[in-house]
Amino acid sequence: MRILFSILVASLRFTVIFTMTNISESDNYIRDRERILKLEQKTFVGGELNLTLKEKLVDDVILKIKKSELVKGYENVSNFLPSQHFFNVKDKINQSEMFSIIKKLPKGGALHTHFLAGVSTDYIIKNVTYKNKLYGGCVNGVFKLKFFEDGDPNIDSIWKKIVEYRQNDTNFDVWLKDQLSLEVPNPSEVYPTANSIWTKFKKTFTVQYDMICYKPVFEEYIYQLLKELYLDNVMYSELRGTFMPLYELNGTTYNNEDFIRIFIKTVEKFKKDHIDFIGVRYIHNLYRGVSPDDLKRDLKDLVELKNKYPSFISGFDFVGYEEEGHTLFDFHEVLLEFTNDLKFFFHAGESNWFGHTDINLLDAILLNASRIGHGFGLNKHPQLQELVKEKNICIEVCPISNQVLKLIDDLRNHPMITLMSKGFPVVISNDDPAVWGATGLSNDWYVAFMAMTPENVGVKVLKQFAINSISFSAMDEEEKTAAMQKWGKQWETFLDNMLLEYKNF
């Protein structure tokens, strides 16, 4: 009996010790798990921000709405809109509750917008193409729009009044929108490769270029572009473009300085009409197929204009399909001559290739780019990542552009997520929104927030996106301080409105 009792006691002691050990190990496991998750959340973009009580309350609301949309995707991925092509889900995105919140949110600045693709095609068709004296004609295989004075000797047999096109074809506006836009219901079939969509993409600019060069239309166009950003709660923009040969119907033409002067005058008029809009900076572009000699001449002219208009002209960038034309290295000797006179905002790494086109990233860094456009291939280059972090170079992330132009299908796999997880400085931008029917910045912010941030990340990352758009802008420090103060007031108003709207949520 004594032996049996001793065995029982020993067995109970072992059971208790074993259970306590298991509980201890389980507790350690849970603690380690929570510690790692918190660390990941802290290192993600915006993770270092400390939220006010008001921000925490709004964060609770936003996370509930975000998770409710995510749950639908977890149950059936076809319900998760950012995983699908933007053309097929744009209308559904615009109807989502999370999108409506992001649209109201003060987003600071739009730092990567090409102004020739910044005004909605619907506005262009309904307002600009119904103006008198607009003609259309096929030039070198591309339909082009241009204003002429009646009886102008330059009107040859290829040109016909747009009003006549409409009289002869009741579906002309539908056809015209197809010339100005990439939107189709079956994008994978119509654009099977990047080359195919870039071919159509480049033509959309050619169609409207001469039309927008008409000075009255150019002024209306810039004003409308700023209005569409403003209505999307954007308070500042840096617009990429080229000098355009503006003209009047009486034969008057304008030079590059006139272009800048007219641009500035239009911006000032918009600021006067919208007192809480901060302003615009201009980033001059050249096609990457330009010759080194032409580049040098153009940059000299740009520096002269920048010295005259230093608060408007910010710097320089190349545009065009990165797989075509010259690399940054091809131009490095010329560009090095201007590093003290101009800031660079280079497109680089907008490619799926590894060790080829993406090496533009290295040259953008070595040329001291202030920001890098897209940076899509940066995740493949650990050494370049270190340099970007060390130099505090901001990446202009344009998720919808990357999807539409065939770099990626499902935005949950966007390579920039890796860098955002490490706290790299990024801004969310819209690139060429009109060409794919996007709305200001909100569509890009929505897909970035829903597909490129963790389930439990809310107000912090949204706030950081907006702060980055000001702190990494081309404004001087005094202007940035004033902009942050103005944005801060808008942010507080947004928080108050959210708490009022969702007080019973």
d(CA 9, CA 410): 61
The count of other CB atoms within 10 Å of the CB of residue 327 is 16
What is the largest distance, in Å, between two alpha-carbon atoms of the chain?
Answer: 123
The radius of gyration of the chain's CA atoms, rounded to the nearest angstrom, is: 27
Q: Which amino acid is at 390?
A: E
pLDDT per residue as tens digits for the range 13-69: 545 454 555 567 778 898 989 999 899 989 999 999 999 999 999 999 999 999 999
Catalytic residue among 347, 374, 381, 414: 374
- 374 catalytic per annotation: yes
- Nearest CA-CA partner of 439 in 73, 86, 65: 86
CA angle 374, 380, 382 (to 5 degrees): 105
pLDDT in tens, 113-144: 999 999 999 999 999 999 999 999 999 999 99
Type of residue found at 351: S
Q: What is the mean pLDDT of residues 322-349?
A: 96
Judge whether residue 339 has pLDDT over 50: yes
Residue 312 and residue 205: Cα distance in Å, rounded? Answer: 24
| pTM, 2 dp | 0.93
pLDDT band at 505 (very low <50, low <70, confident <90, very high): confident
Told to judge if 350 belongs to the known catalytic residues of this protein, a careful annotator would answer yes
pLDDT at 253: 97
DSSP-derived secondary structure for 79-97: G-GGGS-HHHHHHHHHHSH
The alpha-helical segments, DSSP class H, found in 182-317 are 187-190, 194-212, 215-230, 256-273, 292-308
> Average pLDDT in the 433-457 region?
97
Is 399 in contact with 438 (CB distance < 8 Å)? no
At 5, is the pLDDT very low, low, confident or very high (cuts 50, 70, 90)?
very low
Contacts 24+ apart (CB under 8 A), 53-57: 54/492, 54/495, 54/496, 54/499, 55/459, 55/463, 55/495, 56/459, 57/499
Structural domains present in the chain: 88-118+225-492 (3.20.20.140)
* Structure-block tokens of residue 413: 């796999």
Q: Please report, to the nearest 10 degrees, the dihedral formed by the alpha carbons of residues 438, 444, 449, 451 taken in order.
A: 80
CA–CA gap between residue 352 and residue 355 (Å, rounded)? 10
Percent share of the chain, pLDDT over 70: 95
Residue 16 pLDDT: 47
Closest CA to 397 of 421, 418, 378, 416: 416
Strands 160-161 and 134-139, by their bridges, are antiparallel
| Angle made by CA atoms 78, 429, 197, in degrees to the nearest 5 | 65
Mean per-residue pLDDT, 295-319: 97
For 35, the token pair is 């510690």
* Three-class DSSP category at 483: helix
What is the spatial distance between Cα 441 and Cα 75, in angstroms, rounded to a whole number? 29
The one catalytic residue among 55, 228, 350, 396: 350
Helices (H) and strands (E) in the chain, counts: 20, 12
pLDDT at 172 over 90: yes
Cβ–Cβ under 8 Å, residues 418 and 44:
no
pLDDT mean across residues, the chain = 94
The pLDDT score that the predictor gives to residue 14 is: 47
pLDDT at 23: 60
